[in-house]
Chain A
Amino acid sequence: MEEFESVARAVVEPVRRYLRRRTDPATADDALGEVLLVLWRRAADVPADPVPWAIGVARLCLANAERSRRRQHRLACRIGPGDPVPDPAEDVAGALDDAARLRAALTTLTDADAELLRLSAWDGLSHGQLAQLLGTTPNAVAIRLHRARGRLRQALERRDPEPDRTGRGRGRA
């Protein structure tokens, strides 16, 4: 019981942030509850560093939620055509700032590449933690990250051939 509490407190923020980066707040809340439930039920399986493990559980919970969502979407498609919902956060009047450009480039990569980069840069997982999450070695993670960065660069250049000025580009175009 105390063990569950200490583990849960250690993972709750990384997991919550992981989820909120990838889905809407309500789905994130639901998934967070599920992750904690799995953590509670499977306390014996939780490894020494619980964060990658918990994020792994969160990935699957999110995948399940997304599947339900796709099913509802398919149902909606059968009922009648619907307009695609634009993401209001992106591409306002064509004024993509660098962050939006990066996020757009990420979506052109394979899920595996994009997610690896997100897990590294956004969720701050170390090579060791990524290795634990992906069931591989830190070396393999380093190689995959290197390749994924290369493909992200290519995607950025394809989409936006002009060199970026500052590398941060928070300015409004």
Chain B
Amino acid sequence: MTDEHTDAQLDARLRAADPLPDLPPLAPERLDQLLEDTVTSTAAPTRRPRALLLAAAAAAVVAVGGGALALTDRDGGTTTLALAAPDVSASCAALTPELLAESDVAFAGRVTAVSGGVVVLETVQRFAGEVGDTVEVTQGDGSVVDGAPITFEQGQVYLLSADGGTIGSCSGSGPDSPELRALFDQAFGG
């Protein structure tokens, strides 16, 4: 059985299972249009000002590898979150206030204790959702652990957002900074 299933054979079977073996490429005109739209959309007046774009980029960088925070439990005054595996990519789409505003939970917390893979934060500001007075973040299981997860430091304030108990790498969490705070203010109406 295993002899039959050499790696090459398994790969061939996998390739045969490609759900999309023959997607025709984009028509050249369609591609030209797409590229033109991309370049012109950033110049359109509805776009955010450049300073905010930079802020968004900074926030996105902060969030890179931040992984997923899983909201596992809420018990009285304590909200428990798990810091799951970071995303496998070190690239990130620019974070927008609109994206951030979709978070179920957003808050600012100061790290009061870090021990045994558990980070305890004291909630200093609530932006969205129900957040306890203290929040516990635990390191979750990760199968692919790549990129740098958020490193929590004692005494430091972090802006954290979670959606449905999960925060992806691009959903805006990181150390408190004017840039990230501006995004939070904009997303959650200050």
Give residues in A with beta carbon < 8 Å to B.
Answer: 1, 4-5, 8-9, 12-13, 16-17, 20-21, 32-42, 45, 53-57, 59-61, 63-64, 67-68, 70-71, 74, 89, 98-100, 102-103, 106, 110-113, 115-118, 120-122, 133-136, 144, 146, 149, 152-153, 156-157, 163-164, 167-170
Contacts and interface: CB of A to CB of B under 8 A. Distances in A.
Interface residues of B, number: 53
Interface string B1-32: 11011010111111111111001011000010
A102 to B, nearest CB: 4
B85 A56 contact: no
Nearest to B68: A63
Interface string B78-109: 00000001011111111000010010000000
Nearest to B92: A60
B14 A117 contact: yes
A21 B22 CA distance: 11
Given A71-B164, A134-B88, A135-B147, A153 B2 contact: yes
Interface in B110-152: 143-144, 146-147
Given A42-B57, A74-B164, A168-B16, A12 B92 contact: no
Given A112-B143, A168-B16, A57 B92 contact: yes
A63 B121 CA distance: 27
Interface in B147-178: 147, 163-164, 166, 168-171
A58 to B, nearest CB: 9
A103 B17 contact: yes
Nearest to B88: A134
Contacts, number: 176
Contact of A67 (B4, B18, B35, B168): B168
A35 B38 CA distance: 9
A63 B11 CA distance: 26
A133 B88 contact: yes
Contacts of B72: none
A149 B7 contact: yes
Contacts of B7: 146, 149
A153 B16 contact: no
A41 B94 contact: yes
Given A41-B53, A121-B15, A163-B4, A115 B88 contact: yes
Contacts of B186: none
